[in-house]
Chain A
Amino acid sequence: MGSRLLAALSMCAMALALAYALTVGVFSIYIPIELRPLAKILVTSAYNESTPLFSSMTPEIVTAVVWDYRGIDTFFEVAVFYVAIVATAALFRGIERSAPRTSVGLSTIVRTVTRIVALMIVVVGSAIILHGHLTPGGGFQGGATIAVAVALALVAYGLAKLVEHRIDYETSLKVRSLGLLGLSLSACIALIAALILNTNAYVFQNQPKTYAPIGLPYAVDGVLISGTVLLLNIFDGIAVAAGFALLLILLSQPEDVARERVLSSEGGE
């Protein structure tokens, strides 16, 4: 252990020396003083009431880029996420309902603390999701935070107790599909409205654009909701949280049943 720590510290010294040589020498990483032109456009147009046709009306510029400027990118990245989860579920097919009868959790103290803390984590995660268009946060961040609560409950209570309370494979799969359906629908909400009103609109349209006068209001009663960004954040948070819960439940299935099932199917082939 001591020699390893020494090696790590000597690597630190090497990094410092190399960085000092880079600083005083010829080569250095270019650190801009001015913003890049594309970033300038994003920063000036993300919330700008004087040019409403070019603005996304979202004060949080990262969320604006994720769900408005590059919305289709994000949608297909969520599709990659979904495919990875479906692949895991397909790999573990046949063993997803073999929950143990007896629960192997931790002691009463841990369980009580977990009950309090998990609730608080869910509340914080929901706040991160719902304020995603105003403060740092959004669907991905809040969804991952809520999944931590599920992970904590899984460790403290054991899988059997969770299955008893209907937090199981079926439920999380259904909630995951619901979130994805909501994501697709709120991406097309301007398009559906335009079909009814007989005008033009784009997929993933948030605010009204030129030749596409349909758009969600960015403020309701003085409260800023940024059009579709709030809806997309909420559904994405639900989808991410349920997806991670599904992964955790799949991976913590009891091993003896699973091995027996896998080996029997291996011999049958």
Chain B
Amino acid sequence: MLFLELVLCLVAALVSLVGTYLAIVEKDLLKAVVFSALQSTAYAFIYYLLMAPDIALVYIPVAVGLYPLLLVIAIRKCGRFEEV
């Protein structure tokens, strides 16, 4: 029982690493927001598996719902691509 949970935790941690790396190196800000939301989803899984359902409940609407919306509004106003 604990074994399954630990395997899921491992997978979620690796997904969050991939999401963070892609979000930081991406030039297109809209895609970066999507990758950041992927990382947030993985973190929400980690919170749930580390027995913190309160944090998972507050983290899902904040980091997957409201925070990408704020950034998408800002990107729509300020331009989509990052110049290098």
Contact = CB atoms under 8 A, between A and B. Distances in A.
B4 interface: no
A12 interface: yes
B21 A244 contact: no
A80 B67 CA distance: 18
A140 B68 CA distance: 19
Given A8-B21, A11-B17, A151-B69, A138 B54 contact: yes
A226 interface: no
B1 interface: no
Contacts of B70: 247-248, 251
A136 B54 contact: yes
Interface residues of A, number: 29
B76 to A, nearest CB: 9
A16 B18 CA distance: 13
Given A4-B22, A9-B18, A251-B74, A155 B69 contact: yes
B57 interface: yes
A244 B62 CA distance: 10
Interface string A245-263: 0011001100100000000
A4 B25 contact: yes
A11 B22 CA distance: 11
Contacts of A138: 54
Interface residues of B, number: 20
B40 to A, nearest CB: 13
Contacts of B18: 5, 8-9, 11-12
B73 A12 contact: no
B58 interface: yes
A136 B22 contact: no
Given A4-B22, A15-B17, A148-B65, A62 B73 contact: no
A141 B54 contact: yes
Interface in A127-181: 128, 136-138, 140-141, 144-145, 147-148, 151, 155
Contacts, number: 63
B50 to A, nearest CB: 11
A5 B69 CA distance: 26
Interface string A226-254: 00000000000000000010011001100
A62 B53 CA distance: 10
Contacts of A140: 58
A7 interface: yes
A4 B54 CA distance: 34
A128 B21 CA distance: 34
B14 interface: yes
Interface in A178-195: none
Interface of B: 13-14, 17-18, 21-22, 25, 53-54, 57-58, 61-62, 65-66, 69-70, 73-74, 77
Interface of A: 4-5, 7-9, 11-12, 15-16, 62-63, 128, 136-138, 140-141, 144-145, 147-148, 151, 155, 244, 247-248, 251-252, 255
Q: Which 9 A-B pairs have the closest CB atoms?
A: A136-B53, A144-B61, A141-B57, A148-B65, A8-B18, A8-B21, A141-B58, A62-B54, A12-B14
